[in-house]
Amino acid sequence: MTSPAPLRVLVVDDSAFARKVLRKVLSDAEGLEVVGTARDGLDALERVVEFKPDVITLDLVMPALDGLGLLKALAGMPDAPRVVVVSSADTDSELAVAALQAGAVDLVHKPTALATERLYELGAELVEKVRVAGRAMPRYLEAAEREASVRAARSGTGASPKLLAVGTSTGGPQALTRLLSALPRDFPAPVVLALHIPAGYTEAVAKRLDSQSALEVVEARDGLELVPGRAVLAKAGMHLKLERRGALDLVRLDRHPLGTPHHPSVDVLFQSVAAGWGEHAVALVLTGMGEDGLVGARAVRAAGGVVLTESESSCVVYGMPRVVDEAGLSQGSAPLQSLVPLLERFIP
């Protein structure tokens, strides 16, 4: 049986040392081929035309044309490579979040300039995210979304929903931007969000989402009250749990790993929602790699709540929604542009 062709990777970084290390790490990985390197965005555009890579690893702070400039240039190419950002949260977290919203598939946290020898330590994570990016859907999804239909099992929950919980991973910053920017200011339920992203980036994600949404979007902090009109984003590196205390609904941050591979975990959030809100909860699973959210979705359904999913046509990676769909747990599915009308069927 013929082996699939290796993914063609272009490494873009203004540091010669970083280019050398990243090339070595990726070249040693099975199924990947580094076809070239570039020292800035202008150099990268020439290499994209010359080598036609499937994936680019992208530094953001570069001379001539920076990472955001390169992403904007790639947006005009019908067969543009997918992009994995390699970023330092200490210096460019806001740029990294902007890049994710502009179409980058994923993000790898790079050590600071004072710890460049630690670049080798991110090898396994980088290789995995490059492989995922190579399988990701292109960013040009408008036609597919127009053709996709909304699937809903029923038009009401039988109970008045009091909370919307959202879980996502790869492609999540783009999906959350489109979802939250479409929700009205008077959306009647508090919103809680769990996104897989490295520690150090969620404050910047929350600030950008807040600037683009009619809702107030904040990074989670212990004891924060849940109220309609507010969306709370889980803090990376911690689990987000919810607590009902009398008439107050509060956020709790849990630093214990609980045996989960992701911090925050969508499963942990959804299980907390199921326990406290039961039939008054709506859980929404957006684009993402893996199975996080499956156990939690099962808990929400068992408690009488509603589970919804993003449809395959608009997912960057149809992993997390797929496992929920295939388990028969999803009661409604829609592409990103139709998710708000779908939500309004369950949260009137």
Neighbours of 118 (CB within 10 A): 12
User: What pLDDT was estimated at residue 222?
Assistant: 94
- Burial letters for 87-103: b for 16+ Cβ neighbours within 10 Å, e otherwise? bbbeebbbbbbbbbbbb
CA distances for 228 relative to 47, 116, 190, 307, angstroms: 49, 45, 4, 20
> pLDDT band at 116, cuts 50/70/90?
low
Mean pLDDT of all residues in the chain?
89
Q: Which residues pair with 253 in a beta bridge?
A: 240
- Mean per-residue pLDDT for 103-107? 94
- Name the active-site residue from 109, 196, 263, 280: 196
Write out the two tokens for 40: 């800035």
- Residue with token string 């979007």: 217
15 catalytic? Reply is no
Prior bond to 321 cis, omega within 30? no
**Residue tagged active-site, from 169, 265, 330, 338:** 169
pLDDT tens for 19-32 read: 998 999 999 999 99
- Token pair, residue 9, equals 């990777």
Q: Which amino acid is at 131?
A: R
Residue 141 pLDDT greater than 50, yes or no: no
The pLDDT assigned to 258 comes to 65
Tokens of 70: 């390169």
- Whether the per-residue pLDDT at 69 is higher than 50: the answer is yes
Give the pTM.
0.90
pLDDT confidence of residue 4 = 80
Output the pLDDT for position 207: 96
Under the banding of pLDDT at 50, 70 and 90, the label for residue 117 is: low
* Residues 336-345 pLDDT 10s: 999 999 999 9
Full 3-state SS string of the chain: CCCCCCEEEEEECCCHHHHHHHHHHHHCCCCEEEEEEECCHHHHHHHHHHHCCCEEEECCCCCCCCHHHHHHHHCCCCCCCEEEEEECHHHHHHHHHHHHHCCCCEEEECCCHHHHHHHHHHHHHHHHHHHHHHHCCCCCCHHHHHHCCCEECCCCCCCCCCEEEEEECCCHHHHHHHHHHHCCCCCCCCEEEEECCCCCCHHHHHHHHHHHCCCEEEECCCCCECCCCEEEECCCCCEEEEEEECCEEEEEEECCCCCCCCCCCHHHHHHHHHHHHHHHEEEEECCECCCCCHHHHHHHHHCCCEEEEECHHHCCCECHHHHHHHCCCCCEEECHHHHHHHHHHHCC
Q: Exactly one of 13, 14, 54, 292 is catalytic; which is it?
A: 292
CA angle 119, 65, 90 (to 5 degrees): 40
In the annotation, is 292 catalytic? yes
pLDDT at 273 over 90: yes
What per-residue confidence (pLDDT) applies to 70? Answer: 95
Q: What is the mean pLDDT of residues 308-334?
A: 96
What confidence category does residue 256 fall into, taking pLDDT thresholds of 50, 70 and 90?
confident
- What's the pLDDT band for 146 if we cut at 50, 70, 90? very low
Question: What per-residue confidence (pLDDT) applies to 257?
Answer: 65
What pLDDT score was predicted for residue 114? 46
Look at phi and psi of residue 197 and say left if phi exceeds 0, alpha if psi is from -120 to 50, else beta.
Answer: beta
Average pLDDT score over residue span 247-255: 88
Q: Is pLDDT above 90 for 112?
A: no
196 is catalytic: yes
pLDDT of residue 156: 46
Has residue 59 got a pLDDT over 70? yes
Per-residue pLDDT at 121: 76
